[in-house]
Structure 1
Amino acid sequence: MYIRFVNFVDQLNQYRQSKISNKNFLIIAAVIVGILAGLAASLLKGITHKIEHFLQTDLTWQYKYYLYLLFPAIGILLSVLYVRRFIRKGKFETGLTPLLYTISKNSSKVEPHNSYSQIITAAITVGFGGSTGLEAPIATSGASIGSTLGRFLGLNYRETTLLLACGAASGIAGAFNTPIAGIIFAIEILLPEFTIPAFIPLLLSAATAAVVAQLFYKEQLFFLVTEGWQINALGFYVLLAVLVGLYSIYFGKVNSSIKGAFYKIKNPYQKIAVGGIMLGVLIFLFPTLYGEGYITINNLLKGNYTAVISNSIFSEYSHFPAAVIVFTIATVMLKSVATLITLSAGGNGGTFAPSLIIGGLLGFIVSYTINVTGLAQVSTANFIVAGMAAALGSLMHAPLTGIFLIAEITGGYVLMIPLMITTAIAYLINRSVSKYSIYTKPLADKGELSHHEDKDTTVLNMMRLAPLVERNYLAFNENDLLVDRIAEILKSKRNVVPITTEEGKFKGVIYIETVLAQTMKPNEMSLKLADLMEEVKPVVISADLKVALRKMEQENVWVLPVVNGYGKYIGMLSKTSIFNKYRDILNQQSY
């Protein structure tokens, strides 16, 4: 049955290629990806908000509010159980970092299960109060749809990568109803190289996803902002930008600390228990940390300035401006902690939405403080919007995405100049401390990040050592006599002969020049091969290919022996096989 299906797909692709070029077909495929990603975005938002509504409104029990301490842990537990029960063959990862790795090292092959598993786990995590966002999961889901369709249609790496980016852009466009921001997100974050022909498929897929999502989910995310900005407030926008930039640095430090702490906990259920309890306590004290947190930002945009504190146990102090400011500052500092605990404990989500909430709250703190102290009178809504753009742009190292996303979802095009100023300054502050974003730093630390300005590094990152090992070299035992093996050595037409021990462990190599020299000395033909051997340090098969190439250059050799983790000989790695694979990848990437 499977073979017949594969044959049918091959015949379909051959017919399609004979009727329409890949460049033109990409447009059709992009629209299909947009439709599917738009449906996925609607489904994710719908399920998540249904769970939230049931737990917060429909569930009627006099003691239900005590369960708010447990809801986040329950959501993380269900998410982990789903992954462990239903995703056994594939690998499940959260966030945008795995997508960047897939483009850089795995030929843009996103596992198909991500198209639905990301939706299920994210909806459960966030619906039960996990303090994270839905945007990274829906971007991954859309990317999986694009990648799977590209491979199903037999497209090359570059075309599959483009469809992957179309899926991610469509996911963002569908989630926020922001097609322009979706396109810019794909260009800034995912695409290794941007070319004009790629713009049309991205445009069509993002626009299609936004339309489809609107058909099924019409709820407006944020209250629209239409009030213009005042030039005398420019200095305060700069102050906000500095604060957001400094906070983004703090976020990075907290990110490393919390992930490092949870990494030491090996038992997944212990992680859930520790993370769930910590998260439950934080949400109990600071209700704004529950779920995505967009409701609070919406209330603030509408002028309800006590929304942050009003539903907490400190609500009786909501009429004191100082209490509102202090409580909001505490909420901002703990939002990153709650988000990272949710993710580290096993929940699914991303830092996309939390960065918006953090930036919005920082904008509120600055503007509210200015107004209350009488320094000036500024628009609180405008500062909230500017803070969101600055936080997103600095944390993700994607300033254009931050600017256009916020402008689209709030209608704040009249604030374009403040958005540009705050986002640029916050981004530069973060970039001055950290060369990489929170998404790219883990890959950069491992040497697995694509460098768009360095084509060689990008291609080498996509290559693995193991498939390039040549295993057809004749290997001989160190105790073998030269006279017994010389005929086989000369017939092998190899200039290097690997030598092993009785147990198969690599010992060294004999060069053909040495063997030929010995043929001129008939009296020494009874020597053991070990007597002619030269020691060469092998490379482990799990090593990075760039390490092997560097070793070849340092030792001025064309081939290197390859061993397993126990030192047993496997085969030889040659520059010829590396260069051939390099050329194949370059050909795959060209239209």
Structure 2
Amino acid sequence: MLNYSIYKKLDQINHWRMQKISNRNFLIILAFVVGVIGGLAAALLKGMTHFIASTLQNDIDWHFKYSFYLILPLIGILLSVIYVRKFLKGKRLEHGITPIIYSISRKSSRIEPHNIYSQIVTSAITVGFGGSCGLEAPIAYSGSAIGSNTGRFFGLQYKEITMLLACGAAAGISGAFNSPIAGMIFAIEILLPEFSIPAFIPLLISAALASVVSRLLYSEPLFHTASTEWEVEALFFYILLAVLVGLYTVYFAKLTGVVKRWFSRVSNPYNKVWFSGISLGLMIFIFPALYGEGYLTIQQILDGKFDAIVQNSLFADYKNMAWVVISYTVVTLFAKSFASLFTLNGGGNGGVFGPSLVMGGLIGFAFAYGMNQTGVVMLNVPNFVMAGMAGALAGIMHAPLTGLFLIAEITGGYTLMVPLMLVTSISYLINRSMLKHSIYTKVLAESGDLLTYEDKDRTVLSMMKLRYVLETNFVVLRPSETPNDRKSDIIHSKRNIFPIVDEKGLLLGILYSERLFSILLGEEDGVDKSFEKLAQKPNDIIKERENMDIVMSKMNRDDVWILPVVDEDNRYLGFVSKSSVFNKYRALLVRQGHYLE
């Protein structure tokens, strides 16, 4: 009774709000709310993760840490899987940015509420126990869920819910990195590919507030470095680095698909946990830098401790040998790609946002430090580390502006703006020339679920669902009946096509009204013939799971206006016509036109 009274009161307040405050102005207010909550969520996630990691690592003698490295990642992934299976009770917990994009494209920007807290809990456990992935995708997902459900709670429309979803994602990234500009640009580049100027305002508000709240509660910066002016003489080497990073991002994108296929062959989730956990533990035993996000190693390199990656490893005795440091860094780089993908596919929760930064930083370090050993040139190693981070993010995510401003903000490296611009753009172009879609959008593009503005017709069609354009008000004829038996129904039907369906619901054929009228008027024999003998084969048949792009291709190929729809067992469901598709198309165009007004 109390819950009903609260709900009724909230409904009254919301009704008053809709009368007094326009959605446009109310959106600004909610952007403040989403920004504050998103900042709190980011601070909570960072605090939980670092608390778990420090608790497990502090006050433990180093000689025993190798043993802990072998089992901690396994425990973290196992706890995450148990949480999902036992506490979410059948609900799905997806990870990464791809499900957020899918929600915008195909689910009217609706995200399940449990993602607000489930993303935080599972990712903190995964990374805190040593899972080799990042926290940025989970906090972006959590922020998106905050924005989506805030909009739904107040009864907003698709365009406002989508904007609040993007505000939540921007707040999450901003709070995680203390980088409001990068958070806003991330939302625009990844989630809102087509936007108008007013879209900046809610995003700016949410990102700025999230950064302030997160900094107040968890003030430790992600990276700190005193960047120096870049030298024009090093420009050629920045271009070389960009090429290397770009090629590596292509390799990583392809490896992502390969590892995903490996794990898809394992049906038991706990078998995935054992395989990924044990493999990850062994990799961390050999390469301690793979533990957790990996930001600590990058920070040590930025501080000038170039042998940090080898310290505390099995090869620590060789840390003064430059070629060992370089070789070990390169091997760690490739191990990081496997470690992060094993963590994610094995059941842990995280993202490749953070690993992208780490891998790019390692490439930049190995390249600059290696070039310095030749004696031909002396490059500023920290500058190349930052450039590599930006380039990797730009190539892997297909988000050059996000990579550019993120690194500039979190490192204070605005003095490196020109090299960062070159490296991000070249890396992005190399990846885009070889791979049309990023790791976030590839799966959606293959399934026809990607919202893209390069081909608006196909995009709008991909937003349609066949069940919404399915027409069922047709007169159904039985195979044993004759035109004479159904004369009245045929004459009074408002449709010019008749499906012939047997007792099991199977579609046997169709008949057009022109032929049936011709038979009934005596112009053609067959008034007493069964419909089974008169049935005509349709030009084509639409399966209920086919997307609308395929439907329109079949119609255009045979130049037909209407086609029957059946399920996977060939049972008749109805018809789909170009008229219904065009009507829905216009409605979606209107909605898309108001997408970001």
TM-score category (smaller protein)? over 0.9
Aligned equivalents of 2:384, 2:163: Cα separation in 1: 36
Aligned equivalents of 2:68, 2:78: Cα separation in 1: 15
- 1:94–1:332 distance in 2 versus 1, CA, 3 Å: same
Aligned equivalents of 2:426, 2:468: Cα separation in 1: 46
1:318 is aligned to: 319
**Which amino acid in 2 is paired with 1:450?**
L
Aligned equivalents of 2:47, 2:335: Cα separation in 1: 27
Give the RMSD, CA atoms, in angstroms: 1.8
**Is the 2:140–2:170 Cα contact (8 Å) retained in structure 1?**
yes
| TM superposition shift of 1:8 | 5.1
Aligned equivalents of 2:473, 2:277: Cα separation in 1: 54
Q: How does 1:212-231 map to 2 (within 5 A)?
A: 212-231=213-232
- 1:183–1:552 distance in 2 versus 1, CA, 3 Å: same
Aligned equivalents of 1:562, 1:176: Cα separation in 2: 50
| TM superposition shift of 1:46 | 0.8
**Is the 1:106–1:462 Cα contact (8 Å) retained in structure 2?**
no
2:112 is aligned to: 111
Secondary structure of 2:58's match? helix
| TM superposition shift of 1:576 | 2.6
1:525 is aligned to: 527
- 1:73–1:193 distance in 2 versus 1, CA, 3 Å: same
Aligned equivalents of 1:136, 1:151: Cα separation in 2: 22
**Residue 545 (structure 1) aligned to one of 548, 554, 569:** 548
Stretches of structure 2 that go unaligned for 5 or more consecutive residues are none
| TM superposition shift of 1:315 | 0.6
Q: Which piece of structure 1 moves more, 425-434 or 288-297?
A: 425-434
Aligned equivalents of 2:464, 2:504: Cα separation in 1: 31
1:534 is aligned to: 536
**Is the 2:483–2:520 Cα contact (8 Å) retained in structure 1?**
no
- Whether 1:56 and 2:57 are equivalent positions in the alignment is yes
**Which amino acid in 2 is paired with 1:563?**
V
- Whether 1:300 and 2:301 are equivalent positions in the alignment is yes
- Whether 1:584 and 2:587 are equivalent positions in the alignment is yes
Q: How does 1:196-207 map to 2 (within 5 A)?
A: 196-207=197-208
| TM superposition shift of 1:167 | 0.7
- 1:449–1:563 distance in 2 versus 1, CA, 3 Å: same
**Which amino acid in 1 is paired with 2:291?**
Y
2:343 is aligned to: 342
| TM superposition shift of 1:454 | 2.7
Aligned equivalents of 1:490, 1:86: Cα separation in 2: 59
**Is the 1:466–1:542 Cα contact (8 Å) retained in structure 2?**
no
2:575 is aligned to: 572
| TM superposition shift of 1:240 | 1.2
| TM superposition shift of 1:41 | 0.6
Aligned length: 591
Q: Which piece of structure 1 moves more, 138-147 or 225-234?
A: 225-234
| TM superposition shift of 1:311 | 1.2
Secondary structure of 2:485's match? helix
| TM superposition shift of 1:51 | 0.8
Q: How does 1:94-105 map to 2 (within 5 A)?
A: 94-105=95-106
2:18 is aligned to: 17
Aligned equivalents of 1:196, 1:12: Cα separation in 2: 30
**Which amino acid in 1 is paired with 2:93?**
F
- 1:304–1:60 distance in 2 versus 1, CA, 3 Å: closer
| TM superposition shift of 1:49 | 0.7
Normalising by structure 1, what TM-score?
0.96
- 1:379–1:118 distance in 2 versus 1, CA, 3 Å: same
Q: How does 1:78-93 map to 2 (within 5 A)?
A: 78-88=79-89, 90-93=91-94
| TM superposition shift of 1:3 | 7.3
| TM superposition shift of 1:583 | 2.6
Q: Which piece of structure 1 moves more, 389-398 or 252-261?
A: 252-261
**Which amino acid in 2 is paired with 1:504?**
G
- 1:499–1:336 distance in 2 versus 1, CA, 3 Å: same
User: Matched residues, percent identical?
Assistant: 53
Aligned equivalents of 1:158, 1:210: Cα separation in 2: 25
**Which amino acid in 2 is paired with 1:87?**
L
Aligned equivalents of 1:91, 1:284: Cα separation in 2: 32
Aligned equivalents of 2:505, 2:5: Cα separation in 1: 43
- 1:218–1:573 distance in 2 versus 1, CA, 3 Å: same
**Which amino acid in 1 is paired with 2:186?**
F
**Which amino acid in 2 is paired with 1:425?**
I
Aligned equivalents of 1:76, 1:511: Cα separation in 2: 60
Q: How does 1:362-441 map to 2 (within 5 A)?
A: 362-441=363-442
Aligned equivalents of 1:546, 1:59: Cα separation in 2: 59
- Whether 1:31 and 2:32 are equivalent positions in the alignment is yes
1:449 is aligned to: 450
Secondary structure of 1:571's match? strand
Alpha-carbon displacement from aligned partner over 1:114-152 (angstroms, at most 9, x marks no partner): 111111111111111111000011111111111111122
- 1:6–1:468 distance in 2 versus 1, CA, 3 Å: farther
Secondary structure of 2:343's match? helix
**Is the 2:177–2:410 Cα contact (8 Å) retained in structure 1?**
yes
Aligned equivalents of 1:460, 1:106: Cα separation in 2: 14
**Is the 2:95–2:351 Cα contact (8 Å) retained in structure 1?**
yes
**Which amino acid in 1 is paired with 2:560?**
V
Secondary structure of 1:406's match? helix
Aligned equivalents of 2:11, 2:474: Cα separation in 1: 36
Stretches of structure 1 that go unaligned for 5 or more consecutive residues are none
- Whether 1:45 and 2:46 are equivalent positions in the alignment is yes
Q: How does 1:120-159 map to 2 (within 5 A)?
A: 120-159=121-160
- 1:88–1:559 distance in 2 versus 1, CA, 3 Å: farther
**Which amino acid in 1 is paired with 2:79?**
L
Aligned equivalents of 2:84, 2:489: Cα separation in 1: 53
Aligned equivalents of 1:11, 1:542: Cα separation in 2: 41
**Residue 555 (structure 1) aligned to one of 548, 555, 558:** 558
Secondary structure of 2:472's match? coil
| TM superposition shift of 1:59 | 5.8
- 1:89–1:560 distance in 2 versus 1, CA, 3 Å: farther
Alpha-carbon displacement from aligned partner over 1:475-503 (angstroms, at most 9, x marks no partner): 22111122221212222311111111221
Aligned equivalents of 1:541, 1:150: Cα separation in 2: 32
| TM superposition shift of 1:58 | 5.0
| TM superposition shift of 1:63 | 4.7
**Is the 1:514–1:532 Cα contact (8 Å) retained in structure 2?**
no
**Is the 1:394–1:423 Cα contact (8 Å) retained in structure 2?**
yes
| TM superposition shift of 1:60 | 7.3
1:332 is aligned to: 333
Aligned equivalents of 1:545, 1:199: Cα separation in 2: 33
**Is the 1:500–1:506 Cα contact (8 Å) retained in structure 2?**
yes
Secondary structure of 2:486's match? helix
- Whether 1:186 and 2:187 are equivalent positions in the alignment is yes
Aligned equivalents of 1:527, 1:281: Cα separation in 2: 76
**Is the 2:133–2:343 Cα contact (8 Å) retained in structure 1?**
yes
